[in-house]
Structures are given as C-alpha cells and as structure tokens.
Chain A
Amino acid sequence: MINKIVDFPSRATFSSMKSAKNLNVAIAARGVEMVFSSGAGSYHALKNINLDIRKGDIQLLMGPSGSGKTTLLSILAGILTPTAGSVSLLGKEITNLSKQKLAEFRLKNIGFIFQGFNLFPALTAIENIELALNLQGIKGKKAKEESYFLLSQVGLASKAHSLPRDLSGGQKQRVAIARSLTGHPPLIMADEPTAALDSHSGHAVTELLRKLAKEEGCTVLMVTHDPRIVDVADRIVYLEDGVLVDS
C-alpha cells in the first residue's frame, strides 16, 4: 500500500480540457453532478466530482455500497449523462454528444468488463467475441481468427466452442476480458470484475488486467471492493456518499 498514490478530490474545479490533454490524461471529470429524480423526490448521487486518470494507469474506484461508484463509472463510460459537469475521454468532450455518437465512441474506444460477466448465454465463447468484432465491422474469417487469437490470449482456446453455462466463473470472466479487448480499445471500464470469482480465478483475472495496462497500454478504470486488486493498482480513489474523499 505504501507505493500507492491516493487521489484527493481536486479543489481546482473546472480546469480546462486542454490542460487535461497536456497532462496525458485519458479520463477527466470536471464538476460532475448526478441527481436522480423520482415522483417522491430527488437523490443526489454524485456531488462535484473532479478526477483525472492518466493514460496506461490502473485506477481503482473504491467505496462502500451505495456510494455512487457504479453511477460514476457509468458516467465516465458515457453510458449515463451527468446532471451537471463534463467528462472528457481521450481528450474528447463526451458530455454533449448525441446518444448515437456516444455509442460510436464507446464502440471504438471502450472495452467493458462486468461483475456478472454479461456474456450472451446462447453464444459460444468464440461467438461472444465474434459478435463484438462484428459490431466493429470485422466479419467473416477475419473475425473468427481474431476471436480465436483473443481467446488464446486469455488461455481459453480450448473452450472456444463452449457455451457460457459450461464455463466456470473465472473462465467466463476471461472470455469477457477477451471480448473487451476486441478492436484494441484504449480504455477498459470494469465493474467489480473479481467479485463473483474465487481466489484463484480472481488472481488470474487481476493479472490479466495488469498485463492489459502495462503491456497493451490500456487505461483501466475499475470499480471494486476486492482488496486483492489493490496490489496491481497505480491509483485508488474513494467515493463516499457521492463525494470523492481521502483514503
């Protein structure tokens, strides 16, 4: 833990995106607020979030349940639009993009890893990856070869034609990681990637994520409760009641 850097919430809010670029920042959030409204009232989920994540870093986002981690991840991934503030990914302001443009941006730049794996149960391991490639316009033989290569990378070539139900939790998550690598995205967003895994599988997945960042140059933003991952993280930020706090 000694060699970890803990980011504190920046007081210098709304610094320009230009400065974020200069600092080699992959993900930048400025003054992000999120308020969920319902008939009964409103809930302030995120309050004045300011965050810079450097390219090639493994950044952990930790905090208790209900603190707003997943909401922040959704906003930083361009899935949710914040009530206020702005988000810049790879130097591109995404907050004001249309849904279609956001979808295109995610497709080209972000790989997702989910706690529940989110594999398509009717598709085999290789087809799950092939589908992701198809969405990026890579089809036919090339997509098959690329899918097989990615499965090999995560050590699951022998399970290429297995359905998710025939795979263990760790194997499913490795397939999901292989899927997130399609198109070589510069950003990986992971939500509790080891939460559903045993110790051994969790370690394997953690190692894979580390390799992704250090050997492939990906920026990995990870929401987690898992202390095992802390060892591979470059930076950790804590979220509590919607506010970034000291560790």
Chain B
Amino acid sequence: MVSIARKNLFEDIPRFLVAQAGIMLAVTLVTIQTGVLKGFSLSTGLLIDQSQADIWVGSKDMVHLELTKPILYEQYIQAQQVEGVAMAEPLMLGPGFWSSQNGELTPLKLFGFNSEGKLFVPGKITTGNVKDLKQPLSIIADQSSLDSLKLQKINDVGQLRSLPAKLVGITRDTQSIAASTFIFTSLENANVYVNSGLTSKVNCTVENNDFNCTTTFEKKPEKNKNSESEMPIIEPLTATDPITYVLVKAKPGQDLEQLKQRLEKALPNTKAYTTPEMAQKTRDYWTKRTGVGFILGMGATVGVVVGMVVVGQILYTSVSDHLKEFGTLKAMGASNKVIYGVILEQAVWMAVLGYIPGMLLCVGLSHWALQTQGIMILITPITAGGVLGLTVLMCVGSALFAIQKVTSVDPAIVFKA
C-alpha cells in the first residue's frame, strides 16, 4: 500500500528534522539517565566483580564495600586454617587525601592488597606491573583519575597523606562513580599510608556464651620512622594490624554456604558473603539507600514523559495539518482501521528515525564520558533494545491522542474548499 504516513513525514523536511530532534532528545535523555543509573550501579561493585575470590569476609557491621569496620590481620591468618579454604588474602581499605605537586587536595580511597596474590584484581593494568607495588610507597591509579591527581606518566610522584607516592602502574575499569578516587598499593604500603602512627588493642569478653571483641586503635609513639630520611619503615603486617576484608578462595567442590558459616564461626564478629552477594549488597546500598537510584530513575521517567509530550505534540500537529486528508480518506470509504494504521505507522517511523541518531549520540557520549571523566554510562544491548521498545511505545502512545482528533473528524469537511 502507498505509505501516506511515510510520505507525509518527509513532505516537509525542516519540520521533520525538528520533530526528529525532539524524539532524539527524548531518546538521549532516557538512555543517558538509565545508562548513568546502570553505570553507577555497576561501578560501585566493579572491584568486587573482578575479584577472583569466592567469599569476602568483613566486619559483621559492614554496610557496603567502603563503609565497614576494620578486622584484624590475625583473622586473615585464621581464615587460612578454616576447612575448605584453598587460599585467603587480606585486603585493606583506608581513607586518604592526595596532594598534587601544586598543593591541590583530592580525597581518595586506598586499597592495599597482596601484590603477589591472585584474589584481588585492581582492574585492567594498561601500563606498568602489579609486582612493581613491592617498591616502597608506590601506587597504581586508574587512568580516569590521572587528571585529578595531576599525574601524567609512570614514576610521577605526588603526596598521599604526608608521604610521597610514586606512580608505578596505570589501570582502568575500577573507579566507582559514587566514591572518591581509588588508589591501589601493596598491603604493606597501605598499612603505612593508612595506619602510620596507629596501634591496635583488642579486648574480648564472654557474655551469655557470646565471644565479643572490641578493637581499639591508638596513636603510636614516633618510633617507627627512619630517623635519617624521615621515611617510615615498610614492614610486614602483624596480627594486631587492622585490615578490612579477607578474600577467600574455596577448595573445589566446596559448598559456599557451609564454608561461609565455618568462616563466621572461626572469625568472631565477622560476616561472610559470596562475591555476588557482596556486590549486590554494595549496589543495593548505593541505588536504594542513598536515593541516587531514585533520582536517576526519576530522570529517566522525566525523559519518557518529555518524550511523550514532544512526540504527542508533533503527531497531534501533524494530524491537525492533514485533517482534511484524513477526512478525504474517510469520505472515500477508508475504514477507521486504515486511518489509525496511517497514524500509527507515522508514529513508528518517527520512533525509529528518532531512535537511531539518539542512540548513536548516546554511545558516543558514553565513550567520551568514560574516557575523559571516568563516568560509566552503561548502554547494554538490553538497554538499547529496551529504549527502542520504549520509544516505539512512547510514540504509539502519543499517537492515541492524535487518533482521538481523527476519530472526531466530520467527513463532511471534505466539501469545504
């Protein structure tokens, strides 16, 4: 059948382009908002997803990856002895701030891990080597953070807290949008950066058959510094040093639920999570408890509403402009089905032709945002397909308003010159 819908659409090119720009804007708004929400959610658990551990053991008060209480290094040692554990590695998280050479401060989160280990993976190393972290006071940074840290290349130096920090590697795909800048170093370096000048004390009591321990961290006397260079001495951690997590690899064939229970029993005041559980807990916190998910979700909803208004307005105007043509079709004997088909076909054309450039723009924007800002706008095939469906739905929904207008048209208008 001659496509009057398509022909009408292309009859007035400037107006068509304005209309398509409106739909493209709506598509972009929805895609970016949902992409930011998904990217945000994904980024908060990236390091957990990338780890090779089966189980993460942390404080029983842990809220999410970065919000938790410390546990003792001793518990890492104990974890290795638990039945079913093939391998365990300590992970230390600590706050800090970065002073660039021009004195600019940047808040950061420091991850200290076993640079010869296998369970914690600090992203995808693009330059340098994880083993270089064995050097004292050396760090790896995410490439998306280099600008804010004022670092450009390997061996550039900045200041982490009050100590120097040399860049020995560059990584990517680690940074959480929700967190301050991530910096990776060895466990020993992290201990110096985070806990320099602190010592811990553990008090344990038994109440109602429950074994309760409290760890207290106190300022150390200034004896741990190399007097000649004023540089701290890098030492292996001791049983009383605080760490944040114990990453556990189970022996093959282990039931992870049972192993979690054994670990929690062997390590008082801790709770064990499988890696997916840990990632989900962290993501749930950011998307549900902080309101960020709500805000971004609301943005996506606004995108849909704006899109519907834009498309509705465009279609309604188009139908109004061609009302006499619809009247002519009616007079000639075209059924309502045919007339609705014309409007719906026009809506689908508008949806598809607005979607394609809109989605291309979003893909370009997401690459740009990741490369330059370190912000992940996640556009998966499912998201892209979903937005296409939503755009078609949005356009068809809007077409229903236009159909109302045509339904009420008096075919006798055809006789008015």
Q: Does B338 contact A (CB under 8 A)?
A: yes
Q: How far is the CB of A176 from chain B (nearest CB, A)?
A: 10
- Does B381 sit at the interface, judged by CB under 8 A? no
Whether A191 and B415, one on each chain, are in contact in the complex, defined by CB atoms closer than 8 angstroms, is: yes
Contact B412 A131 (CB under 8 A): no
Name B335's contact: one of A73, A103, A112, A192 (CB within 8 Å). A103
Q: Which residues of chain A are near B336, meaning CB under 8 Å?
A: 100
Closest to A132 in B: B332
User: Chain B, 278-310, contact with A by CB distance < 8 Å: what is the 0/1 string?
Assistant: 000000000000000000000000000000000
Measured in the bound complex, the distance between the Cα atoms of B10 and A77 in whole Å is: 33
Number of residues of chain B lying within 8 A (CB) of chain A: 25
The residues of B that contact A120 with a CB separation of less than 8 Å are 4, 7-8, 325, 328
> Contact string, B329-365, partner A, CB cutoff 8 A, digits 1/0?
1111111101000000000000000000000000000
Report if A105-B412 is in contact (Cβ < 8 Å); known contacts: A134-B1, A134-B2. Answer: no
Is the C-beta of A139 less than 8 angstroms from some C-beta in chain B? Answer: yes
**Residue ID in chain B nearest A104 by CB atoms:** B333
Cβ-defined contact, B415 with A114, below 8 A: yes
Query: Would you give the 0/1 interface string for B53-87, flagging 1 where the beta carbon is closer than 8 Å to chain A?
Result: 00000000000000000000000000000000000
Contact between B331 and A192, CB atoms less than 8 A apart: no
Distance A198 CA – B15 CA, assembled complex (angstroms): 33
Q: Mark A92-120, 1 if CB is under 8 A from B, else 0.
A: 00000000100111111010101110101
Q: How far is the CA of A120 from the CA of B322 in the complex (A)?
A: 9
Smallest CB-CB separation from A139: which chain B residue? Answer: B1
Interface residues of A in 124-144 (CB under 8 A from B): 127, 130-132, 134-135, 139
A199 to chain B, nearest CB (A): 19
- Which residue of chain B is the closest to A129 with respect to CB atoms? B2
Specify the main secondary structure of chain B where it touches its partner.
helix
Do residues A131 and B1 form an inter-chain contact, with CB atoms below 8 A?
yes
Cβ A73 vs Cβ B415 within 8 A: yes
Q: Tell whether, in the assembled complex, residue A127 and residue B328 are in contact, meaning their CB atoms are under 8 Å apart.
A: no
Interface residue? A70 (CB, 8 A)? yes
- Most chain B beta carbons < 10 A, residue from A108, A120, A139, A191: A120
Q: In whole angstroms, what is the CA distance A122 to B415 when docked?
A: 20
Query: Could you tell me if B1 and A100 are in contact, using CB atoms closer than 8 angstroms?
Result: no
Please determine whether A135 and B324 come into contact, CB atoms closer than 8 angstroms.
no
- Contact check, A196 vs B4: say whether CB atoms are below 8 A apart: no
Which residues on A sit within 8 Å (CB–CB) of B335? 100, 103-104
Which residues of the other chain, B, contact A245 by a CB distance below 8 angstroms?
none
Residue of B nearest to A133 (CB): B2
User: Are A116 and B417 in touch, CB under 8 angstroms?
Assistant: yes
Please determine whether A122 and B8 come into contact, CB atoms closer than 8 angstroms: yes
B415 lies within 8 A of A107 (CB) = no
Question: Given A122-B7, A123-B2, A131-B2, A103–B334 Cβ distance below 8 Å?
Answer: yes
Chain B residues whose C-beta falls within 8 Å of the C-beta of A74 in the assembled complex:
411-412, 415
Is B414 an interface position by the 8 A CB rule? yes
Residues of B within 8 A of A71 (CB): 412
Task: List, in ascending order, chain A residues with CB within 8 A of B417's CB.
Answer: 114-116, 192, 195-196
Q: Is the CB of A123 within 8 A of B7?
A: yes
Q: Given the complex, which residues of A lie within 8 Å of B415, measured CB to CB?
A: 70, 73-74, 114-115, 191
Is B11 an interface residue when CB atoms closer than 8 A count as contact?
A: yes
Which chain A residues lie closer than 8 Å to B330 at the CB level? 103
- Minimum CB distance partner of A77 in chain B: B331
Chain B's nearest CB lies how many Å from the CB of A67? Answer: 14
Q: What size tier do the contact residues of chain A reach?
A: 35 or more
Which residues on the A side are within 8 Å of B325 (C-beta)? Answer: 118, 120-121
Cα of A107 to Cα of B339 in the assembled complex, Å? 14
A192: nearest chain-B partner, CB-CB: B417
Asked if B4 and A131 sit within 8 Å, CB to CB, the answer is: yes
Complex interface residues of chain B between 7 and 59 (CB less than 8 A to chain A)? 7-8, 10-11
Complex contacts, A103 vs chain B, CB 8 Å: 330, 333-335
* CB of B201 to closest CB in A, whole Å: 84
A80 at the interface (CB under 8 A from B): yes
Tell me which residues across on chain B come within 8 A of A107, comparing CB atoms: 332-334
Contact B412 A112 (CB under 8 A): no
Residues of B within 8 A of A195 (CB): 417
Q: How many Å lie between the Cα of A159 and that of B348 in the bound state? A: 31
Per-residue interface assignment for chain A, residues 194 to 214, with 1 indicating a CB less than 8 Å from any chain B CB and 0 otherwise: 011000000000000000000
Closest chain A CB from B341 CB (angstroms): 11
> In this assembly, does A23 line the interface, its C-beta being within 8 Å of a C-beta of chain B?
no
Residues 401-415 (chain B) with a chain A CB within 8 angstroms: 411-412, 414-415
Residues of B near A35 (CB, < 8 A) are none
Chain A residues near B412: list those with CB within 8 A.
70-71, 74, 79-80
Tell me the complex Cα distance, A166–B259, Å: 82
Cβ contacts under 8 Å, A118 to chain B: 324-325, 328, 414
Tell me whether A135 and B10 are in contact (CB under 8 A).
no
**Chain A, residue nearest B335 (CB):** A103
Q: Is A106's CB under 8 angstroms from B4's CB?
A: no
CB pair B11–A121 under 8 Å, yes or no, is: yes
Shortest CB-to-CB span from B407 to chain A, Å, is 11
In the complex, chain B residues whose CB is within 8 Å of the CB of A104? 333, 335
CA gap between A79 and B415 in the complex, in Å: 10
Given A121-B325, A131-B2, 7 other A-B residues pairs in contact with their CB atoms under 8 A: A71-B412, A103-B330, A105-B333, A112-B414, A114-B415, A120-B8, A135-B334
B residues touching A (Cβ–Cβ < 8 Å)? Answer: 1-2, 4, 7-8, 10-11, 324-325, 328-336, 338, 411-412, 414-417
A-B contact pairs, 10 of them (CB 8 A): A79-B411, A103-B333, A103-B335, A104-B335, A107-B334, A115-B415, A131-B2, A134-B1, A135-B334, A195-B417
Binding site for B on A (CB under 8 A): 70-71, 73-74, 77, 79-80, 100, 103-108, 110, 112, 114-116, 118, 120-123, 127, 130-132, 134-135, 139, 191-192, 195-196
